[in-house]
Structure 1
Amino acid sequence: MNHVAKEPNKEPTKLLIVDDLAENLRALNAIIRADDRAVYQAMSGEEALTLLLEHDFALAILDVQMPGMDGFELAELMRGTDKTRHIPIVFVSAAGKELNYAFKGYETGAVDFLYKPLDPDAVRSKVNVFVDLHCQRMEIRRRVEEQQATMNELRAAQEELRYALRMRDEFMSMVAHELRTPLNTLFLETQMRKMQLDRGNLEAFGEDALTKMVARDERQIQAMIRLIDDMLDVSRIRSGVLSIRPGWTELQDMLRRLTSDLSRQAQDAGTTFELDAPQAVSGWWDEFRIEQVIVNLLTNALRYGGGKPVSIRLVATEAEARVDVIDQGPGIDEAMQARIFLPYERGAGNGVPSGLGLGLYISRQLAEAHKGTLTVASKPGEGSVFSLVLPRGTPPA
């Protein structure tokens, strides 16, 4: 088998010649070879079949009279196989025209029949025609594939656009809903106070009453601030300006403080926190941002934990620290696990306000900004484990 030179980055056109005599193969190869072609040679029908199944040929030139499987038998096998039935066949014979081989050759699907001795110019001209036709077919196929790929890209882009528009509309609806709740509460509170003032009932504003009023107002204002902060963080993440200010941070005390701060929220959800943090673990992190991640994980565990205790585990090696937040909720199926870290994705909680669906998205971005990871391990019916892993690092010199 001879391989000829080819143009860079261009697949050569493959030709197959089959003859049981080596000198005939050499002579035919000399006639049809060219820089943009690869000529494959076979000395039997069986050898030719092996090559036909391995390569896509533009043309097969078959000698009629070969021992064993002759050219006609090889042609019939080629026409019976999907991979080879499209290959044009040219028969070559040294027998006289009176044997009527040409008629039998055309019956088996040949496109031409040549007699020996061969006319080099005629052979070369015929081969050039079939090579050109093959190249045209390949170019058409390439263009069709490119058009199909372009159509697929357009369909994917349209689907992404539809998804983005749907998410935008849902997001605006969520923002309106989530902001309306604390605003309505504040509005009702102010209306009640105005009514008491109009009636001159100053006793309604005693020290205990004022303390409770301020606490309620603070909770509603903080809820709105958190929503606005989440939206600002998403904007910063997408514009690449999210700021990280590392400092020497200790996780054990942070977890104790956060679980204490959120104990009232846990009580409202009908559950408790179980903290397993036996030792102090320090690292070079942005304390405010790590708190933000852990608070998101804890509030999510309360929201989707089914009212069962939420466990928090702190473990560490010399290289990294890991915080696991473990709930006993309904779990998350595999398809949803791939989506919960996308913006605006929200699950079905247990009545705890579910926010804008930005918490896990922001948390993963913050973990990655610290060169860490935020992952989930879960199975339906078995709860979920969210793991925040952070390299401990060293402060700059």
Structure 2
Amino acid sequence: MEQDTHVLVVDDLEQNLVAMEALLRRPGVKVLKAQSGREALELLLAHDVAVALFDVQMPEMDGFELSELVRGSPRTRHVPIIFLTAAAVDVQRSFRGYDAGAVDFLYKPIDPHVLTSKVGVFVELHRQRAELARRMEELQRALQLNEMFTAVLGHDLRTPLSVVKVSAELLLMQHRDEATRSIAQRLKSSASRMSRMVEQLLDVYGLKSGGIPLKPVACDLGELVEQICAELSVGGCEERLQVVRRGPLDAVLDRDRVMQVVANLIGNALEHGDPSRPVTVELDGGQPQQLILRVRNGGTVPAERLESLFAPYQRAGKPQRAGLGLGLYIVDQFVRAHGGRVALRNEGSDTLAEVVLPRDARASGQTVVPL
């Protein structure tokens, strides 16, 4: 059941309150009445009010003083105030009313149509704000439920996927028949791709639920890249991968997160790049405070899509290709957490992904991967 919208009227004369109630009352609108500033403050603290109408000339506490008190409280400062007065038109008095926080200043005798129209606007705005807040709350609950569902699903999928991968590997080891090996290889490749999707979903859930802890350790970026290249070469990509190393590549980084960055960038280059051209991985350790990783592949990305590729659910390749479009988003988050930066651009007929990382991630001050 929809709740009534409250309108507050403050006047020290009972007959004025009765007249205002009769004028403003309508279905869905409840008029609250107060004969003093103290009573008005009590009602404002107890009810959510769409608009308040204050008589200026009241004993003990006039409308201006009451308005200043209302504006001084976080609970009530958002309430629109309309001043009502029977005094002659006075410019200085009007200025004081607006300085006290009024949204309007009306002189008695008041035109009923003008007053009801002004109050009606604030009532409708209040209802719209309440509806927006309700919808935002529902959306937030839906998002939380969706993230929880994603996390549970991701964890539950790991076990059956590992069974599929192990079974495919057993078939590859035990059978020499080309048809069987081809099927087993496709099963293994598909299971690996699904595993990467699950890991990406879990990473994104971790980012949204407070972050993923960084654990910087001493490592060699060149060794991490070589390990990823060796894993990718199992799928027949060895001939396309070329690694170029320059300078010392020792660092203090989160080993697992950096390996995910490298695997995503090289995997994207292999999948979406020109298959007739090599994928070059350049490692530059020539600077004392930072390392640079560049992954270059043949083919370019449309210029209008370059800026959005690091947003979640954006795919680097054609829309019909498999994937969740989370890889580059996760790359960006992990690199930023290390205090580094990543960029993707076209150079001639090539696409170049460039990652700049500090040699010591502990200097970034980050303890978790931020959202």
TM normalised by structure 2 equals 0.49
* Greater C-alpha Rg: 1
